[in-house]
């Protein structure tokens, strides 16, 4: 299971990065507890800021941006954490999600995190980022995690933050597992390679003949196929034949 953090950390060691790391390790722990091998990875939007404004102005993507978009398309789950400025996610964070291909996030579970100076910013990401991610057909988990200065400063705040992180991370993992339509095998382990194999040519055999093994079907993974390879529109085997365009 690949979990990707798409986070805007504006300084080297920001509280936003700390929150993203804590959420990632909580999600990895929740996944591993269920027998999954979890890989985590980071995209820091700060390093893409120039590319994002260039793309806004010229329409083209730098290689770095292409790579980041591809990572999102390949991830099984996303954690996205942003600092809040004036009761809104910082602009470059939102811009990343506004510029990504429409299909890149479709069907992927997403966990929203945010940081701010005071608890009065707490619903900022929920009210502004959640609609953007929903528009992209990302599956945003019900619990999002907001951390204010108070949460880092006191033991009580820290305990409460830890609880929220665990709750949200468990939701993310549960949703990811159900989206992938994969039951964990009796051996207690399922890897991505096996999952992909089972959805290939022998899927019928693997699911039909071995009851109690994989319960994978193509239908069990809505969106999973369609979002793979955002550039498929240039595949000569997949494009709409002109005669069809001509019929209107």
Least distance to another protein, CB of residue 50, Å: 8
Which residue in 50, 71, 73 sits closest to 61, CA to CA? 50
With 0-12 / 13-18 / 19 or more C-beta atoms within 10 angstroms meaning exposed / middle / buried, residue 244 is: exposed
Of 36-44, 56-64, 71-79, 190-198, which part binds another protein (CB under 8 A)? Answer: 56-64
Smallest separation, CB 57 to another protein (Å): 4
If one asks whether residue 62 binds another protein (CB under 8 A), the answer comes out as yes
Scan residues 204-233 and list those touching another protein (CB under 8 A). Answer: 231, 233
Among the residue ranges 21-29, 130-138, 177-185, 234-242, the one whose residues contact another protein (CB under 8 A): 234-242
Nearer to another protein, 65 or 206 (CB): 65
Q: How far is the CB of 248 from another protein (least distance, A)?
A: 6
Nearest to another protein of 13, 234 (CB atom): 234
Half-sphere exposure of residue 130: CA atoms within 13 angstroms, side-chain side: 15
DSSP string, 208-236: HHSTTS----GGGSTTHHHHS-TTGGG-T
Number of residues that bind another protein (CB under 8 A): 23
Please give the structure tokens belonging to residue 166.
């665990």
| 184/239 with CB nearer another protein | 239
Q: How far is the CB of 231 from another protein (least distance, A)?
A: 7
Instruction: Convert 81-98 into a string of H (helix), E (strand) and C (coil).
Output: EEEEECCEECHHHHHHHH
**Cβ neighbours of residue 71 closer than 8 Å, sequence gap 6 or more:** 4, 41, 43
Can residue 101 be called a binding residue for another protein (CB under 8 A)? Answer: no
Smallest separation, CB 49 to another protein (Å): 12
Query: Of residues 33, 41, 60, 218, which one binds another protein by CB under 8 A?
Result: 60
Does 64 bind another protein (CB under 8 A)? Our answer is: no
- What DSSP letter does each residue of 9-73 carry, written as one string? --STT-HHHHHHHHHHHHHHHHHHHTTB--EEEEEEGGGGHHHHHHHHHHS---HHHHHHHHHHH
Taking a C-beta distance cutoff of 8 angstroms, is the pair 176, 109 a contact? yes
40 close to 3: Cβ distance less than 8 angstroms: yes
Closest distance to another protein from the beta carbon of 15 (Å): 31
> Is residue 98 at the binding interface for another protein, with CB under 8 A as the rule?
no
**Contact with another protein (CB under 8 A) among 142, 208, 212, 236:** 236
Check residue 49 for interaction with another protein (CB under 8 A): no
Residues at the interface with another protein (CB under 8 A): 50, 53-54, 57-63, 231, 233-236, 239-243, 245-246, 248
């Amino acid at each position: 299971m690949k979990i990707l953090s798409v986070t805007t950390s504006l300084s080297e060691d920001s509280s936003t990065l700390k929150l993203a790391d804590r959420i990632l390790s909580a999600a990895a722990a929740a996944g591993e507890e269920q027998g999954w091998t979890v890989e985590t990875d980071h995209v820091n939007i700060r390093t893409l800021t120039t590319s994002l404004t260039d793309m806004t102005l010229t329409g083209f993507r730098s290689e770095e941006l292409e790579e980041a978009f591809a990572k999102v398309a390949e991830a099984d789950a996303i954690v996205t954490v942003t600092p809040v400025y004036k009761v809104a996610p910082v602009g470059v964070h939102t811009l990343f999600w506004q510029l990504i291909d429409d299909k890149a996030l479709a069907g992927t579970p997403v966990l929203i995190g945010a940081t701010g100076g005071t608890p009065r910013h707490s619903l900022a990401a929920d009210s502004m980022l959640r609609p953007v991610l929903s528009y992209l057909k990302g599956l945003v988990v019900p619990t999002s995690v907001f951390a204010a200065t108070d949460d880092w400063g006191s033991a009580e705040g820290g305990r409460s933050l830890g609880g929220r992180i665990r709750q949200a991370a468990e939701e993310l993992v549960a949703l990811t597992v159900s989206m992938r339509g994969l039951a964990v095998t009796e051996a207690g382990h399922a890897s991505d390679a096996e999952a992909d194999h089972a959805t290939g040519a022998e899927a019928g055999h693997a699911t039909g003949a071995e009851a109690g093994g994989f319960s994978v079907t193509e239908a069990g993974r809505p969106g999973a196929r369609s979002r793979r390879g955002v550039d498929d529109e240039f595949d000569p085997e997949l494009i709409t034949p002109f005669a069809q365009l001509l019929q209107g």
